[in-house]
Structure 1
Amino acid sequence: MSNRNALTTPTDLKILNILATGRRHNPRTIAAKLDRDQDYMGTRIRFLRDLGYLKYAVIDKSGIFEITQRGLVAAWHTDRYVRNHHDTFHELTLTSWNHQPDNEFLPDLAWVSTEEKYGFIALNEQDVVVPSELADDPQGLPYDPEEQGFRPEFIGNILYRMYWHGFADRVGGIEAYRITDRGELVYELVTGQSDTDSVELTEHIRDTYSDDENQRLEQLIRAHETIEIDPQHGG
């Protein structure tokens, strides 16, 4: 998938958030909520359906849509969507969706893989990390790109992964990153561990959530329960 297929912001993000309540909508009702053209809303909704974030609510494709489990994962992260990193956003959304535990739904599932470990090393090198500066100087990378198999220019995507997880913030809304208090907590939890259970890690991170984040999480979990009741629903 190419970044040229990126979401239209903020329209697509608003559509996701509307449907993240678990209610079903058609282009007309979405258009009314957003005060936009109905045909254009239909185009955007179909685009989100093609990404797997939405689906037809009934088999006969009557034009009524609902969010999918994949879409609920994306909805949790809408405030961290960056158009230039659309591919990584979508990849991480799919990874989270594909690794959901069997007995519960975690739209905020977090994990630390090799890329995140490199991200933590980079973020701890200095207060603010600018990917282009690291990429310009391979000696400044927190790993050996030849030995590890990562090309230097990928450091921007690695740091965006940290932002997607909430382990880092973007400084001034540009390609500059700083570790967050949440990221420092996770770094302490995973340091020295070869493997970290993603469910346990997520539970630790939830202890740091604000009231707004907890309310948002509860809404997405309720929405998931709503769509799971419908036997026609697919994730």
Structure 2
Amino acid sequence: MRLVDPTDFQILRALSDGRRDTAANLAVIIDKDRNYLNTRLPVLADEGLIERVGPAESSGLYQITPRGVAAAQNQSLYAADRDQFETAIDEQEPLITITDPAVHQTSVSAPPSDQ
């Protein structure tokens, strides 16, 4: 796996909360050119680190994968030893679960009615 350090890791960290985001938002978050990100996002998707998610195929929403979380957690290992980096990702990936962010709402009681 060939990643651009630090940009690819910045993208992975920006997505590491499990939420979906667009290239435009990611460009602002990590302070990089959107056109450049549009070249890196497909590479990260091809490596299985992020995935393009709907609702439409062309919606431009991306979400990190368990493999991407493991890669982000092992950035220092990537620079030191790429073989160990790959091994660490392979070992950690099955242990990571991503659940879609959920919205929880507490019900509000209705005011008493006048009778």
Asked whether the two chains share a fold, i.e. TM above 0.5, the reply is: yes
Given residue 41 of structure 2, which amino acid in structure 1 is its aligned partner? I
Distance 2:50 2:12 in 1: 8
Alpha carbons 2:50, 2:65 under 8 Å: kept: yes
Residue of structure 1 in register with 2:85 after alignment: 89
Residue of structure 2 in register with 1:73 after alignment: 70
Given residue 11 of structure 1, which amino acid in structure 2 is its aligned partner? T
Residue of structure 1 in register with 2:99 after alignment: 225
Alpha carbons 1:54, 1:66 under 8 Å: kept: yes
Alpha carbons 1:81, 1:89 under 8 Å: kept: yes
Q: Does 1:33 align with 2:32?
A: no
Q: Please, what is the CA RMSD of the aligned residues?
A: 2.3
Any gaps of 5 or more consecutive residues in structure 2? Answer: 103-115
Distance 1:225 1:9 in 2: 27
Residue of structure 1 in register with 2:57 after alignment: 60
Alpha carbons 2:77, 2:84 under 8 Å: kept: no
The TM-score, its normalising length taken from structure 2, stands at 0.73
Question: What are the residue-to-residue correspondences of 1:1-235 with 2, within 5 Å?
Answer: 5-58=1-54, 60-82=57-79, 85-98=81-94, 100=95, 105=96, 224-226=98-100
Distance 1:88 1:50 in 2: 20
Distance 1:38 1:13 in 2: 16
The TM-score, its normalising length taken from structure 1, stands at 0.38
Any gaps of 5 or more consecutive residues in structure 1? Answer: 106-220, 230-235
Count of residues in correspondence between the two structures: 101
Moved over 6 A (4+): none
